[in-house]
Structure formats: C-alpha cells, structure tokens
Amino acid sequence: MLLNLTEDQEFFRETTDRFLTEQVAPDALRQLRDDPIGYDPTYWRRGAELGWTSLLVSEEHGGGTISDSGLADAGLVAYEFGRHAAPGPLSVVNVVAAALSQHNAAPDVLAGLLSGERIATWCAPPFGSTRWEPTVAAVASGTDLVLDGEARIVESAGRADDLLVTCNDGDGVTQLLVPATTPGISVAPMLTVDLTRRFDTVNFDGATVPASAVIGTAGDARADVHRQFELLIALLNAESVGAMQAAFDMTVEWAFDRYSFGRPLASYQALKHRFADMFMWLQSSHATSDAAIAAVAAGDPDSAELVSAAKAYIGEYGAELVQDCTQMHGGIGVTFEHNLHLFLRRVTVNRALAGTPEDHHQRLAAFIDAREGTAA
C-alpha cells in the first residue's frame, strides 16, 4: 500500500508481517496443500488476537481500529496476506463481522469471530456485470423461514460454524445468519488452484431457521449487500497487490543475481522495458486499491465505481505481472519447489472472485452510461 501510515499502523503492519513470516513460511504453505481446512486453527486464533477480525467492528461490540479507518487497517492485513500468500478466510470473516456489528446482531457469534474461536462465511449471490441476484430462496412457514437453493464459491464453508446467507424472500433481499449444522444444509468442496484457501458449494434443501435469524430488516438488505461486496472487493484488491509486490520483488532480486554471458539479467534492455511496465502496473495497482479503500471507508458516493475500477485493473494487470515474473524466471519459475507459484495462484483466484475484470469493465460502462444519461 502507498498510504502514509501512522506509527501505530506501521507497527501493526510489521507485527503482522513478522507473525506471518514465522508461522506460514513457503514450506509450511506447501504442507497445507492437502489439508482439508487449509490452515491451522491455532494460527487463526493467534491472528485474531492480533486484531485481524476486529477492525471492521465497533468498539461497543468488542472491536477496535488502529487508525481512524478500520478498513484501511484491515487492508494492511490483507496486503500482508497477499505478500505471504497466507492462509485463512480473512476477507469473508471480516465482512460477516462487519454485518453483525452494523446491526448489533448475534453477539455470541460476533464474540467468537473476534476471538478466532468461530468461523463465519458469506453465502453471497453471484456478482454479475450489472447486477446480482440471490440464488437462495427463503419462504415463510409460520414463524420460520425455509431455505432452498445453492450458493457457490463460498470460502471456508466446510470449516464455518455460521453462514451469512443472502436470500430472496419474495418481497426483496433478506440476510440470515444460519448455523452451518442446520438440517437441510450440505457442503460440497470445489477445486481451486490456491494451495491453502478452500471454496465450497452450499446446498439448502428445506433448511428451516427461525425469523430471529434475520440480520437487519427482512426484505430490505440490498444496500447491506452492496456494502458487503465493496468491503470484500476492497480487501481482495489489497491482497492481490501484496501478492504482486512479492512476485515483483522476488523477480527483481533474481534478475540482479542471475548472470548470462557475464552480465546480470537486469542489465539487458529488453528486460528493463518489461520491468518498467511491471513497475507501472504495480504502482497503479497500489494507487487504485488505496483510492478504493479510502472511498469505501468514507462512504463516498463514487465508491462502487472506484472499487470496480480497482478490481478490473488489478485483476487484469496483476495476472499479467505475475505471469511476466514467471517467464523471467525461466524453467525454475514453474516448479513446485519455487515460491513464485504461490503468488500466481493467489492473484489468479482473486481475479475470479466477486466479479472478473470483464464483469467490472461492464459495470464501469454502466456507471458511465448512467452518468451521461443523467447529464443529458
């Protein structure tokens, strides 16, 4: 991140950096490849003690921030997660915690998220280019709600204790906090290229929950979901930028250390031009991610547009940058023993989550059309 950090923020970032360096070195990440969860629960609890899950939660609900912007602070953690290709459902847990804090809901669950003892994830609707619609239906049955449908690409659903489910209840959009053990809920793992993050399909087949499971106002959660997507995408962007930075730094070091015909690779003009392009993409990604985080944190009316601009740019050029880094490393860059693929995997998966660059380009075009139509 290019933000001017306060002393407290820099200390917080350095603390996270040191912790991740000690706990999830690249060799440890490789060993998690076949782990069904993808991370050590003790590691996650210790991270929660450092404040990873409390930054978007108000002080009255047990949270707290490092600066005057909890989202900027959470972005620092996400950035370090990307730089270390770290495991753990950072973004989704923070999104759920923010939703519970906003509506002063489920205090026991929120306390568990803050301590790291519980995991919650978001069964979000598919993020389309112009709009999203829930794929889970909630039908009233007496004082209960019966859920049917399927949510796909749900991070850590197989490990989650609770699910924040975005539903269509016939009158509008409703969000429910549902225990993952509720009868009628089944979870099926999906394949992913990321070594440590796990994604699942969650099926709801007549799962029944009480009306008290509603988070916020029934039928009126569309604005909440928009906000959750902005938070999620802002954190994913920061994480991708961290992975880009790690891959770039690794490749620069390699180019100066590796010699060809008596000269370091970095001295060849053709590679210098490629490094210049990559540096421009990296700095622009830093800037667009920081701008989006600042806009979302401030409630800027243009925040949705800035978030999509950042997601589109970082998704497109992040993948380009890490692919170039891989090419520059030659054959060793595509081996499992080398660390570069850890960052390529992270950028590739983040590129596809919460809308592809193509989706967000179309979304930006819709924003521009709407603005020009209003001006006309």
How does pLDDT run across 127-162, given as a tens digit for each residue?
976 778 999 999 999 999 999 999 999 999 999 999
pLDDT, residue 375, reads 59
pLDDT, residue 88, reads 97
Q: What is the mean pLDDT of residues 113-126?
A: 97
Place of tokens 């521009």: 368
Closest CA to 325 of 256, 236, 249: 249
Does the pLDDT at position 189 exceed 90? Answer: yes
Does the pLDDT at position 266 exceed 90? Answer: no
Q: 56 lies in which domain range?
A: 7-118
CA distance 230 to 224: 10
User: Can you tell me whether residue 172 is helix, strand or coil?
Assistant: coil
Do 278 and 369 lie in a common domain? Answer: yes
Give the gyration radius of the chain's Cα atoms: 21
Any residues with CB less than 8 A from the CB of 57 and at least 6 apart, and which? 63, 64, 70, 97, 98, 100, 101, 110, 114
Main-chain phi, psi angles of 120, to 5 degrees: -130, 150
- Residue 291 within a domain: yes
CATH (domain of 128): 2.40.110.10
pLDDT, residue 131, reads 79
H/E stretch holding 177: strand 173-179
pLDDT, residue 4, reads 82
Do 370 and 229 lie in a common domain? Answer: yes
CA distance 348 to 297: 26
- Residue 280 within a domain: yes
331 pLDDT band, cuts 50/70/90, is confident
pLDDT, residue 1, reads 66
Taking the alpha carbons at both ends of the chain, their separation in whole angstroms is 38
Amino acid present at 268: Y
Does the pLDDT at position 3 exceed 90? Answer: no
Q: What is the mean pLDDT of residues 267-293?
A: 93
CA distance 38 to 195: 7
330 pLDDT band, cuts 50/70/90, is confident
Do 95 and 128 lie in a common domain? Answer: no
pLDDT, residue 173, reads 97
Which of 184-193, 269-278, 326-335: highest mean pLDDT?
Answer: 184-193
- Residue 364 within a domain: yes
Q: Please tell me what DSSP assigns to residue 161.
A: S
- Residue 275 within a domain: yes
What pTM did the predictor assign? 0.95
pLDDT, residue 2, reads 64
268 pLDDT band, cuts 50/70/90, is confident
Where helices occur in the chain by DSSP H, the ranges are: 7-23, 26-31, 41-49, 70-84, 90-102, 107-115, 222-257, 269-298, 303-329, 340-352, 357-375
Do 264 and 307 lie in a common domain? Answer: yes
User: Can you tell me whether residue 143 is helix, strand or coil?
Assistant: coil
- Quote the percentage of the chain above a pLDDT of 70: 98
Q: Which of 68, 90, 118 is the last residue of a domain?
A: 118
Q: Which of 118, 136, 164 is the last residue of a domain?
A: 118
Q: Which of 156, 184, 215 is the last residue of a domain?
A: 215
Do 363 and 238 lie in a common domain? Answer: yes
More confident residue, 248 or 258: 248
Do 298 and 371 lie in a common domain? Answer: yes
CA distance 156 to 170: 28
- Residue 1 within a domain: no
CA distance 362 to 125: 18
- Residue 353 within a domain: yes
User: Can you tell me whether residue 69 is helix, strand or coil?
Assistant: coil
Q: What is the mean pLDDT of residues 239-265?
A: 90
Task: For strands 162-168 and 120-123, give the pairing.
Answer: parallel
| 283: Cα separation from own chain's centroid | 20
Do 39 and 97 lie in a common domain? Answer: yes
Any residues with CB less than 8 A from the CB of 141 and at least 6 apart, and which? 208
Do 63 and 168 lie in a common domain? Answer: no
Residue 42 tokens read as 């003790």
Any residues with CB less than 8 A from the CB of 212 and at least 6 apart, and which? none
Do 202 and 252 lie in a common domain? Answer: no
- Residue 302 within a domain: yes
Q: CA geometry: angle at 89 spanning 120 and 128, to 5°?
A: 85
Do 368 and 242 lie in a common domain? Answer: yes
Any residues with CB less than 8 A from the CB of 49 and at least 6 apart, and which? 115, 116
Do 185 and 232 lie in a common domain? Answer: no
CATH (domain of 28): 1.10.540.10
- Residue 2 within a domain: no
Residue 58 to residues 122, 164, 322: CA-CA distances in angstroms? 20, 19, 37
Of 71-85, 198-212, 249-263, least confident by mean pLDDT is 249-263
Residue 15 tokens read as 């603390």
How many domains, the chain? 3
Do 277 and 191 lie in a common domain? Answer: no
